[in-house]
Chains A and B, each alone.
Chain A
């Protein structure tokens, strides 16, 4: 039987901009993933505990209010401590305050432990293709 990967979605921190994560969740479901949809304002700790509970393969976070870097300061350390080093981490949205060059953002979030970083308005399909590729590379799909 083919393995169905489990992914967690939600907006991180105090961000209420929920539409992106709703659209993404449905697209993931349509693409055959098992989606644990946490909705808006999910704390980093909740992402970790739900990932442990559901044995998730990936966490896909959204953030539109510019404070993601602040919200995720200790996240990588905590998820490593929780034994979740093998879980794929993606994030997308308006990730810092102010006008910026998206190319400057990616290294920042890669340093925070994220495998892939997407600009605002990125199509769900692009993220889903990347996810399939990354999961296959890990032998999880």
Chain B
């Protein structure tokens, strides 16, 4: 039997309401959610707690904020942690959930949370927002003058609690970087269902913002596939009624490329949203993100330098937010103190560099932007072709055909016919193109750049070069000349 076609079409209201209740019935705190009351509570929040508005204000005032990661189980301690972040200048505050909450193991969480509350100890690696529920979490939101965003959970409990972004929890990142067996068809269906909830609130003038991760470049790999998936997610979310979204741009360490991608991603997302007539979907900002492998836990100097590199790129490209991890990222759960020193150092960069409003010219940015743009358009054209104009249908077929592909994916349904290496300047290039539908001059460009490195090193780039490059950024050496990691 032929499988029914998944199309980029809005999910109907009856189906939506049924799914929403089913989701909330998974734990007793779901009963605390009254949909209309949740919308009314959201509308009562001051602008300083509305993510989308905070981002727009930062942009208009030429300022920026760290978007950190933070979560601890006991409410009072969580309030303290978030107040600490606010004091160090953070106005975009995460509510990072613990691993068990992310896996839906609420009963297990309850036992541990009870013990945390009894002993005051943090036995979970995040804030268990489902078990804490609406009443408790509103206390957190009302205690700190900042906008809140849930991390690692997609639930209306977060909306009813006054968090003003909505994470679908099911993006390309979930499928391509964290899932072993999920098919692309399953992913897009779930993504549509989740973003439809944000659409329901938008119909009631509650604008929930979503940050788009796209398909993570898990290793040195050009960002064109990632930017295509950002566009695809934006178009799908907008069809479900989402009115505010912004991209995270995964910085890979070559400054010309990182700056080019930060310019390109929001510009192309805007263009495609307009082209498909989702003109009222706002992009309130752009957020460079610290994504590749971290320095090992003992290398604190490297961890500081790495987070500040991303902060500098964000400051020079005049972004309004930067997604940063603390120096404890590789070691485990950050403490209040490591958060303070980590984000304090980023804040220092913002204050010194961003405030200068520097107009900087980095050689190569224009060329990198043009190359990636050509690649993105080539893939988008092929997707729309495969889907006969339908974005969803085209996405599914593109993944199945390797027109969208990534190296090193844990997902066994991914083709994995592509590979990236760095060039003589540390920029990410395609070593193997797989079925990516690039024009010949683009392929030639990548080959030429790789050849420059081959000449310097006196050997052909191959799979083993790609393997050595996996550690390049985390070891603080992105130009792969020998002696490589001495």
Contacts and interface: CB of A to CB of B under 8 A. Distances in A.
Contacts of B298: 99-100
A40 B99 contact: no
B408 A18 contact: yes
A50 interface: no
A100 B297 contact: yes
A78 B370 CA distance: 57
A97 B123 CA distance: 13
B330 interface: yes
Contact of A39 (B99, B219, B296, B412): B412
A72 to B, nearest CB: 17
Main secondary structure of the interface of A (DSSP, over half): loop
B297 A99 contact: yes
Interface in A53-98: 66, 94, 97-98
B408 A19 contact: yes
Nearest to A120: B296
B406 to A, nearest CB: 11
A19 B103 contact: no
Given A94-B296, A99-B298, A18 B410 contact: yes
Contacts of A23: 467, 470
Nearest to A16: B178
A124 B219 CA distance: 18
B482 interface: no
A40 B180 contact: yes
A22 interface: yes
B102 to A, nearest CB: 9
Contacts of A14: 99, 103
A52 interface: no
B482 to A, nearest CB: 15
Given A94-B297, A97-B331, A16 B471 contact: no
A121 B178 contact: no
Interface in A80-136: 94, 97-100, 119-121
Contacts of A97: 331-333
Given A39-B412, A97-B332, A121-B296, A19 B99 contact: no
A33 B99 CA distance: 35
Contacts of B471: 121
A39 B180 contact: yes
Contacts of B116: none
A6 interface: no
Contacts of B333: 97
Given A39-B412, A94-B296, A99-B297, A19 B470 contact: yes
Interface string B336-378: 0000000000000000000000000000000000000000000
B386 interface: no
A43 interface: no
B177 interface: yes
A16 B297 contact: no
Contacts of A121: 296, 471
A136 to B, nearest CB: 26
B218 interface: yes
B297 A40 contact: no
Contacts of A99: 297-298, 331
B219 A19 contact: yes
A77 B6 CA distance: 48
A16 B470 contact: no
A94 B103 contact: no
B112 to A, nearest CB: 13
A19 to B, nearest CB: 5
A40 B296 contact: no
Interface in B451-486: 463, 467, 470-471
Contacts of B177: 16
B297 A98 contact: yes
A94 B330 contact: yes
Contact of B332 (A66, A119, A120): A66
B183 to A, nearest CB: 16
A25 to B, nearest CB: 12
Contacts of A19: 218-219, 408, 470
25 contacts: A14-B99, A16-B410, A18-B409, A18-B410, A19-B218, A19-B219, A23-B467, A26-B463, A39-B180, A39-B410, A39-B412, A40-B180, A40-B410, A41-B410, A94-B297, A94-B330, A97-B331, A97-B332, A98-B297, A98-B331, A99-B297, A99-B298, A100-B298, A120-B297, A121-B296
Give 3 nearest A-B pairs by CB, closest first.
Answer: A97-B332, A18-B410, A40-B410
Interface of A: 14, 16, 18-19, 22-23, 26, 39-41, 66, 94, 97-100, 119-121
